Amino acid sequence: MSANLSENYLYQVLLLLIVAILCWLWMRKGNKLVVAPLPPGPRGLPIAGYLPFLGKNLHHEFTKLAQEYGPIYKLWLGSKLCIVVSSPTLAKQVCRDLDVVFSNRDPTIAASILTYNAMDIAWSSSGPYWRNIRKLFVREMLSNSNIDACYHLRRQQVMNTIKHLRTNCGLPVEIGKIAFLTEFNAFISMIWGGSSTFKGGDHDGVGAEFHAISSKLLRLLELPNISDFLPILARFDFQGVKRQANEILAEADGFLNSLIDTREKERAKNGVGDFGKRDFLQILLDLKDCQDSDKSINKTQMKALIMDILVGGTDTSATAVEWAMAELLHNPEMMKRVQEEISQVVGNKSLVEETHLPKLRYLDAIVKETLRLHPPLPLNVPRRPSETCIVGGYSIPKDCKVFLNTSAIQRDPDVWENPLEFRPERFLGGEEGNKWDFSGNNLHYFPFGSGRRVCPGIPLAEKMVSYILASLLHSFDWHLPKGGEEVDLTEEFGIVVKKKTPLLAVPMQRLSDEVLDHA
């Protein structure tokens, strides 16, 4: 009896031991699946991290580090853990496979303040509010019918630019500034209509006033703020960024309140339908008055959306026009070819219209190649994962900052032949040329982002860049000022990457007086 009990006891102990070993092995195997190391990366200094070692052109610095540490690596910028992704395969994991996890933003202090606590589309975190406001923006404001309805407003601003350049033929003009003002005035027109009675009908004065506000806002957004990298110092606001952001917001807020209040008074006096137009402000006010809670927005949301359109839509598009003109001046044979194409499609007895754009295939290739070689946002807008996950076999911690190095991906020599050369022809020719578009589905080419956070303004931006560029090239011949034998293609990093030296070019009238008189 005693021997049997001992034997049973030994069997039980042995069984428990086997179960324990199996559980330990299973847990160890499971941990290997779940727990992964952080990506490799450079060492930094205590507190400052790798900040002191970064140069001015951050996207190029990140590309150099990728060559040393691989397509995914980490670095500490102050107390912020940053992950940099530089390959199409890993970008697909971030933008597609784990799109929901990586759909949040990490706004800077200035960006958060200047967008009404991140209530806009670009900087708000993913969730019901963001989904609703983006849906309204795309469906109600940027539908094909609304974009088409505003064409006469865009056309008027392009014609104004042609008139201005005609009076300055033979004199150097700043291409980036010309493009920016054209874009800006076009968006101003689309927001509150070309015949708005705001401020006594002084439409140009309205644009100039907000242009000054927008310029200050962009400069502040581009200013590196130590408090963004060391949040413990944020309350001291050593650089005064928070103070300046609040001052600029107060200025912009007063302007936008006056704009909205004036239109609401006009609506109350004359009736909602008496304006004979559906500009963006009219659409926003209709949504504000909407009884459907899924469509209704408040005044603060209105202002955040207007700021999104003016700030996000103008500088990036104008910069693309400037880079395209710089590359064409650097490659005169390409400029001649695209001018011949425009003349063949449009003729030399009329001006370019947006309806001509689908037929201008070489112009489209120039725009695409410009955005490949010079993406306005080369690091995209940083993402913030909502949970810890694994990308490329490495652990990506929750709430870190994730950069997608679009610039490096779009210059990958394994995908692009002679990637540093400006060659629009790579976007021409049958199936090979047609696989590249701005949708972000092909993670070798996504200048406007990819996934659910892809830029919602692509249709309008594409039209504006192509229309302005085609009009400049069709109406005028261009050459560098005397003494300027080469175009400086050096980049200057900022929230939008621009030319280090503004592009100066001399327009010479190409079309007859009779044609340009209709501008």
Helices (H) and strands (E) in the chain, counts: 20, 12
Residue 15 lies in a domain: no
* Cα gap 345→509, rounded to integer Å: 19
**Per-residue pLDDT, 385:** 96
Residue 415 near residue 88, CB atoms below 8 Å:
yes
DSSP state of 481: P
3-class SS at 392? coil
pTM over 0.75: yes
3-class SS at 399? coil
* Cα gap 364→71, rounded to integer Å: 30
Nearest to 457 by CA among 28, 143, 101, 114: 143
Q: Hey, CA dihedral for 261, 263, 267, 273, is it positive or negative?
A: negative
Residue 69 lies in a domain: yes
User: Residue with structure tokens 């009329």?
Assistant: 350
1-40 CB burial, b ≥16 within 10 A, e <16: eeeeeeeeeeeeeeeeeeeeeeeeeeeeeeeeeeebeebe
Residue 12 lies in a domain: no
Nearest to 503 by CA among 379, 318, 373: 318
Each residue's pLDDT, cut to its tens digit, for the chain (519 residues) gives 444 545 555 555 555 556 556 555 555 554 444 479 999 999 999 999 999 998 888 899 999 999 999 999 999 999 999 999 999 999 999 999 999 999 999 999 999 999 999 999 999 999 999 998 898 888 878 888 888 888 998 999 999 999 999 999 999 999 999 998 899 888 888 887 754 434 433 445 566 677 788 888 888 988 889 999 999 999 999 999 999 999 999 999 998 898 888 888 877 777 654 434 567 888 888 888 777 766 788 899 999 988 888 888 888 999 999 999 999 999 999 999 999 999 999 999 999 999 999 999 999 999 999 999 999 899 989 999 999 999 999 999 999 999 999 999 999 998 899 999 999 999 997 655 567 889 889 999 999 999 999 999 999 999 999 999 999 999 999 999 987 678 999 998 877 888 999 999 999 999 999 999 888
Residue 75 near residue 84, CB atoms below 8 Å:
yes
Q: Hey, CA dihedral for 342, 345, 351, 353, is it positive or negative?
A: negative
Using DSSP bridges, classify how beta strands 80-85 and 401-404 pair: parallel, antiparallel or unpaired. Answer: parallel
**Per-residue pLDDT, 201:** 39
Residue 288 near residue 296, CB atoms below 8 Å:
yes
CA 155 to chain centre: 24
Residue 296 lies in a domain: yes
Q: Please count the structural domains in the chain.
A: 1
Residue 25 lies in a domain: no
DSSP state of 98: T
Looking at the DSSP assignment, which residues form a beta bridge with residue 85? Answer: 72, 404
**Per-residue pLDDT, 519:** 83
Domain of 426 in residue numbering reads as 30-516
User: Residue with structure tokens 């933003």?
Assistant: 105
Residue 8 lies in a domain: no
Residue 320 near residue 363, CB atoms below 8 Å:
no
Give every CB contact of residue 328 below 8 A, 6+ residues apart in sequence.
334, 335, 338, 366, 473, 478
Say what the alpha-carbon torsion angle 355, 360, 363, 368 is, to the nearest 10 degrees: 80
Q: Hey, CA dihedral for 407, 408, 413, 414, is it positive or negative?
A: negative
Residue 155 backbone phi and psi in degrees, to 5: -60, -40
* Cα gap 465→325, rounded to integer Å: 11
Residue 35 lies in a domain: yes
CA atoms within 13 Å, Cβ hemisphere of 140:
24
Give CA separation, 226 vs 236, 246, 380, 492, in Å. Answer: 11, 17, 21, 20
**Per-residue pLDDT, 391:** 97
Residue 222 near residue 493, CB atoms below 8 Å:
no
DSSP string spanning 21-45? HHHHHHHHHHHHHH--PPPP----B
User: Residue with structure tokens 């995908």?
Assistant: 415
Per-residue three-class SS string for 68-104: HHCCEEEEEECCEEEEEECCHHHHHHHHHHCCCCCCE
Q: Which helix (H) or strand (E) holds 471?
A: helix 458-475
Nearest to 111 by CA among 328, 436, 401, 335: 401
**Per-residue pLDDT, 13:** 53
Give every CB contact of residue 63 below 8 A, 6+ residues apart in sequence.
86, 405, 407, 408, 411
CATH number at residue 409: 1.10.630.10
Give every CB contact of residue 506 below 8 A, 6+ residues apart in sequence.
170, 171, 172, 173, 478, 479, 480, 481
* Cα gap 194→322, rounded to integer Å: 26
Residue 213 lies in a domain: yes
